[in-house]
């Protein structure tokens, strides 16, 4: 190993996974403001390994749509950002030529699944009188949180925007939460936006939103890992399955680069040229309070019907509409609403 000096260029990337999340307890509800920025989207992989005790594969009973069924009991390894090329992922949903996790899923579909889309955005949550009511506290107060969600929820938000117009014009009502672990709750669109009822509320929301954001929404979606770390995660999966099957691990499988268009050996260096750093994977640094007039052109003109949706934190594969382009002009937020 090489020696390193006490200089700024040798500092390790600092990734802070501790941030204020929108996370509901069982039975809890939340009243939130969505649409103050476009969400960030990444393709992510969930890697899990089978649990083996004394050579025996462990099974568990799960509840499916058609009743209970037996499944392999697994242990979480990592949820990592896919290393695939963006255009390839958009076209086919996977990129085994550039991402070793996609390659594992393609070569060994019993051991891993293709990547799936996940989203994260800053939202503003109202302080309410109790965790089980949508009624606001007095005096008026709010907080900025990070909300991470799958395709199903993103599609529902698009449906709301299509039918009712600008999402800023209506509060979203979440809950009651049915499962804390899976964050399973209904979403309804409200009849009004409490924050738009007077100027002081508008100002409080704008200031709270502007001054309390995390630097990189990517960490709310998955781990922006280097390829050499991912190869170690893959080895955990393949080793465990080799034990289950009573076979030897294929030599060099995880680091075999012969079938990859981009030579993974370059990705496995400490400073890979082809893999962006954690800082590089973050969204462009723009003023999130710039120009919402272009985000949603329509404005709701009718009283909406409550529209429930069950949010399940699970991969959903079908293609969805692409989010609107990021905006960079929000100077008229208060005047335009």
Distance between CA atoms of 129 and 144, rounded to whole angstroms? 18
- From 308, 280, 313, select the one nearest 118 (Cα to Cα): 313
pLDDT digits (tens, 9 = 90+) for 245-263: 876 555 444 544 344 444 3
Q: What is the DSSP letter of 239?
A: H
- Would you call 66 exposed, middle or buried from its count of C-beta atoms within 10 A (0-12, 13-18, 19+)? exposed
Burial 96-129, CB ≥16 within 10 A → b, else e: bbbbbbbbbbbeeeebbbbbbbbbbbbbbbbebe
Token representation of residue 18: 């501790």
Instruction: Kindly state the percentage of the chain with pLDDT values over 90.
Output: 58
Residue 292 has pLDDT above 80, yes or no: no
Cis omega before residue 139 (within 30°)?
yes
Instruction: Transcribe 302-334 into DSSP letters.
Output: SPPPP-------S---S--PPPPPP----TTHH
* Residues 6+ away with beta carbon under 8 Å from 1: none
Q: Span 63-79, mean pLDDT?
A: 89
Domain boundaries defined on the chain: 21-336
The pLDDT of residue 336 is: 54
Which residue(s) pair with 179 in the sheet? 184
């Amino acid at each position: 190993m090489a020696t390193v000096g006490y200089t700024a260029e040798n500092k390790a990337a600092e990734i802070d996974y501790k941030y204020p999340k929108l996370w509901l307890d069982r039975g809890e509800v939340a009243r939130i403001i969505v649409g103050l920025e476009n969400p960030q989207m990444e393709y992510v992989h969930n890697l899990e390994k089978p649990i083996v005790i004394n050579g025996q594969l462990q099974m568990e009973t799960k509840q499916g749509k058609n009743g209970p069924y037996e499944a392999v009991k697994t242990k979480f390894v990592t949820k990592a950002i896919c290393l695939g090329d963006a255009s390839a992922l958009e076209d086919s949903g996977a990129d085994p030529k550039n991402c070793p996790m996609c390659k594992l899923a393609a070569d060994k579909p019993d051991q891993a699944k293709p990547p799936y889309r996940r989203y994260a955005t800053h939202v503003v949550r109202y302080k309410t009188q109790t965790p089980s009511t949508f009624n606001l506290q007095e005096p008026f107060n709010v907080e900025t949180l990070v909300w991470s969600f799958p395709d199903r929820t993103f599609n529902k938000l698009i449906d709301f925007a299509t039918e009712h117009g600008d999402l800023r014009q209506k509060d979203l009502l979440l809950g009651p939460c049915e499962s804390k672990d899976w964050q399973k709750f209904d979403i309804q669109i409200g009849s009004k936006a409490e924050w738009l009822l007077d100027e002081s509320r508008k100002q409080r929301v704008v200031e709270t939103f502007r001054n309390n954001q995390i630097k990189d929404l990517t960490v709310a979606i998955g781990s922006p890992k280097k390829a050499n770390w991912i190869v170690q995660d893959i080895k955990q999966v393949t080793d465990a399955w080799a034990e289950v099957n009573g076979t030897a691990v294929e030599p060099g499988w995880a680091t075999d680069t012969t079938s990859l268009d981009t030579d993974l050996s370059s990705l496995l260096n400490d400073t890979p040229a082809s893999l962006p750093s954690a800082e590089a994977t973050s969204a462009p640094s723009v003023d999130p309070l710039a120009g919402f007039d272009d985000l949603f052109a329509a404005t709701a003109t009718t009283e909406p019907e409550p529209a429930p949706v069950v949010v399940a934190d699970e991969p959903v594969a079908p293609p969805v509409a692409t989010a609107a382009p990021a905006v960079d002009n929000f100077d008229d937020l208060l005047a335009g609403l």
